[in-house]
Structure 1
C-alpha cells in the first residue's frame, strides 16, 4: 500500500470509526446537540477538550499514513510500527483523543449521558487494545513493539518523549 491509498483509507476510517463514536452517537444521545445550559467554565473547558482531542486524533491518523504507510483500520494495517510524534508519549493517542472529545462534548452540552458514553467507549477501546491490538502488534513487530510497550504507557502520557535510539 502506498501513502495515497493509506491516506484515503485513513480518511474513510476516520469518518466511520471516530466519526461514529465521537460524532454520531453523542449527537443522538444529546438529542441533536441539545445543550442543558452549562456554566461558562464548562463551555470553555469543553471547547478546549474538543479542540485538543480533535487535533490529537488528526495528528495520530496522519502518523499512520506518513510513518506507518497504512491505516488504523485492522483490515489495512501499517507496514511500519508507528512510534513517532505523539506516539512517543502514549501508545493509544487516538483512543485517548476520542474519549477527550466526548468528555469535552459532555461539558459543552452539560449532558451526563455523554460522560457515561465516554466511560463505556474508553473501556471498550481498552478491551480492544488489550485483546486484539497488542497481541497483533507483538506478533507483527516482535521485539520492536515489546520494547516500545515497555517504555511508553498505553493510556496516560509520559512527560518526556520516548527516544528509540
Structure 2
C-alpha cells in the first residue's frame, strides 16, 4: 500500500540514502574551507595590527594583543591543522569560533562598536560548523532538519476546509516569524552595530511591489496545495496527492520561490542589506539541505509520476507550462 494511503512517510533511511546521492559536498570541501579560513584569519590579524580602520571596525576597544594571543592558536592555527584532516583540531577551531561569535555579538550589541567583527564572526561560525560536519561526518546531516515535529508525515484525511485552515495557520505563524520577527531583530542589530546604509526611495518602493507579488504567489501556492494536494506546505502534514496544477505548472517549488523573494523584499522595504543576505542564506539552506529530502520523499511516494513531472518542470526558474 503506498505511503499516501497509510499516512506514513517513506522510511528515514531511504530518504537519507537518496539525499546522499545528490549531496555534492564532502570532507575535502570541509578541509578546503578550513584552509581558506586559516588564510583569511591570518590576513585579518595582519590587517588588525597594521590598519587602524580595520582594528576599529572589527575589534572596537578590545585589546588586540590579548585577543591575538588566544585567537591565533585556537582559530588560525587550529583551522590550518583542520585543513589537513586532524579531527582534534576541528574540535578546537569550531567551538572556539562559535564562542568568539557569541562574545562579539554581545560586545557589539552592548557597545555599538565592532559591528563588522560581529558580522564576520557570524559568517565564520556558520562556515566552521558546516565544515566541521563535513570533516567529521563526511556530509551535511540534512535529515536533522526534518526530525521530530518536522519529520515527513502525510496529512490526515480531512475536508478541504480543514486543510485550508491548517495552511492558513501555518502561513500566519511562519510569515510572522520569518518575515517580521527575524527581520526586525536583524534591522535592530544592523542599526545598533552602525552598519545601516541610506538607500534611495525607489528601493523600498521596489521592495513593496516585490513583496506583494511574492505574497500573492505564496498564497496561490498554499491554496493549491491544500485544496488539490489535500495537505499543507509543512512536511509534518504534507500533501496526500502530487500537486502539478496552479503555480506548480510553472515551477516545482513556487512556495520556496515566494518565500525567498518575500525575504529579499522585506530587506528592500526596510533598507537592510543584512536582511537581504538573510534571505539569500535561507535560499541556500533550503536548496542544498531541505529540497533533496523533499524530492526524495515525493519520488518515494509518487514514483514515475513525480519523476516525469520533475523532468518536465523547472525547480527555480519558471518555464512555459506544459499540458498536465
Partner of 1:161: 321
| Aligned pairs for 1:6-25 within 5 A | 6-25=163-182
Partner of 2:291: 129
RMSD: 1.8
Which stretches in structure 1 are left out of the alignment for 5+ residues? Answer: none
CA separation in 2, counterparts of 1:144 and 1:134? Answer: 12
CA separation in 2, counterparts of 1:97 and 1:20? Answer: 15
CA separation in 2, counterparts of 1:134 and 1:17? Answer: 22
Partner of 1:41: 202
Larger % of helix: which?
Answer: 2
Partner of 1:139: 300
Q: 1:91 to 1:18 in 2, by over 3 A?
A: farther
With the length of structure 1 as denominator, give the TM-score of the two structures.
0.90
Q: After superposition, what is the alpha-carbon deviation per residue over 1:131-164, rounded to whole angstroms, capped at 9, x for unaligned?
A: x100000011111110110011111111x11221
CA separation in 1, counterparts of 2:308 and 2:259? Answer: 26
CA separation in 1, counterparts of 2:169 and 2:160? Answer: 14
CA separation in 2, counterparts of 1:80 and 1:111? Answer: 39
Q: After superposition, what is the alpha-carbon deviation per residue over 1:48-84, rounded to whole angstroms, capped at 9, x for unaligned?
A: 1100111001111000111111111112111211111
Aligned residue among 193, 214, 218 for 1:53: 214
With the length of structure 2 as denominator, give the TM-score of the two structures.
0.47
Q: Between Structure 1 and Structure 2, whose CA radius of gyration is higher?
A: 2
Deviation at 1:23, TM superposition (A): 2.5
Partner of 1:81: 242
- Displacement over 3 Å in runs of 4+: 34-37
